[in-house]
Amino acid sequence: MNVLFRTDSSLTIGTGHVMRCLTLANQLKKQVNANVSFICRDLEGNLINFIKDNGFRVLVLPKIQINKADHLAIFKWYEKNWKQDVYETQFLFKKYNFSIDLLVVDHYGLDSKWESKIKPFSKKIMVIDDLANRKHVCDFLLDQNWYLNYQDRYKNLVPPECKQLLGPNYVLLREEFIEASRQKRIRDGKIHNILVFFGGTDPTNETIKTLNALALLENNIKVNVVVGSSNRRKHEIREYCDRYLNFFFHCQVSNMAELMNEADLAIGAGGTTTWERCYLGLPSITIIVADNQIELTDSVSKFGATINLGCSHEVTSDQIFEAVKDLIEHPKKAQLLSERASKLVNHKIVNTYPVVKVIMEELK
């Protein structure tokens, strides 16, 4: 079984697309011995070497010229130049004589126009999305997020025969989280350990903003600070942490589930990490750092599973401090956040990797 992933990562795109694709890739390799490859564009801050380090072949699309000051520039490029991406992708297919059973596309810049041109090269196409803002030509669509109207979001955006895998019961969690859930703590709401993580790149510098808030707390609270290797300010953040005995710096970790299990509270962005926190019942304060996180964070907050402070440009260190201080003074609030978060994910279903099961049934 030959599986190909088309996804990108960069300082502006972030690392979430690649990380969830790697989770699915590892499970397909483990459970059905799939032959897995990736196609990624050479963008600044990419995870191409990280994908290779995980044991997968990566075919690289050429660099492109974009306005680095515009965080939406990469998506504007794809909107205008999607045909170029089609041509370059097809060139790789022909060069390496690919026989593809499943093509997995996880990319906000690609839609039905691109997919219809690529479809003849693959038996099946799976799209991973959470925006529900464009049409797709695909056999499966995966959106692992929970929204108030999650069952109807793609009603007119995919073909009638498309199998839709919707909601957090289809969440792609790394095995470390499945394992950590077996030692999952019973949380009493008391906060002695805080985890700070704003994704692999943190382009809006929420980490420093949060540390400025936590520096005002009593120093008997342990603070674990995690950044990705692509974070431009990682050296500055390390130096900040070195000034405090209770701040501990971590870069590109492989034990995130362990750190979450140890934490009593997490402060971070929305996106995929939301479900990792919910799965382990970790109370959280969320700051929205990208437009695609707005609807998800709002829905999870209304369910009572996180505290939504709003969009990053509106959030101050003082607001973060007050939110943390309130939870420290009212442990029952933190405990309720934990209970509500756990209810959003059905552990028995998630642990069986239902996405892999669906793929295998369709490709028999």
The residue-averaged pLDDT of 298-322 equals 97
The residue-averaged pLDDT of 170-193 equals 91
Banded model confidence at residue 31, pLDDT cuts 50, 70, 90: very high
* Amino acid letter, residue 289: V
What is the model's pLDDT at position 68?
A: 74
The closest of 159, 184, 170, 138 to 277, measured between CA atoms, is: 184
Which residues lie below 8 Å from residue 275, measured CB to CB, with a gap of 6+? 144, 145, 168, 171, 173, 344, 345
Mean pLDDT of the chain: 94
The closest of 344, 209, 358, 202 to 280, measured between CA atoms, is: 344
Q: 97-112 as b/e, with b when 16 or more CB fall inside 10 Å?
A: ebebebbbbbbbbbbb
Outline where the chain has alpha helix (H). Answer: 16-32, 48-53, 73-95, 112-118, 175-181, 206-214, 234-242, 256-262, 272-279, 294-302, 317-329, 331-343, 347-350, 354-363
SS3 128: strand
Burial of residue 83, with CB atoms counted within 10 A of its CB: 0-12 exposed, 13-18 middle, 19 or more buried: exposed
Banded model confidence at residue 146, pLDDT cuts 50, 70, 90: confident
Which residues lie below 8 Å from residue 276, measured CB to CB, with a gap of 6+? 173, 177, 256, 257, 260
Q: Phi/psi at 361 (nearest 5 deg)? A: -65, -40
- pLDDT above 80: residue 69: no
Q: Is there a contact between 250 and 225 (Cβ–Cβ < 8 Å)?
A: yes
The residue-averaged pLDDT of 11-28 equals 94
The closest of 266, 331, 105 to 114, measured between CA atoms, is: 105
Q: Is there a contact between 264 and 193 (Cβ–Cβ < 8 Å)?
A: yes
- Give this prediction's pTM: 0.90
Residue ranges of E strands in 113-175: 122-128, 140-143, 163-166
The closest of 350, 355, 175, 339 to 256, measured between CA atoms, is: 175
**Pairwise CA distance, residues 202 & 224, whole Å:** 16
The residue-averaged pLDDT of 140-155 equals 90
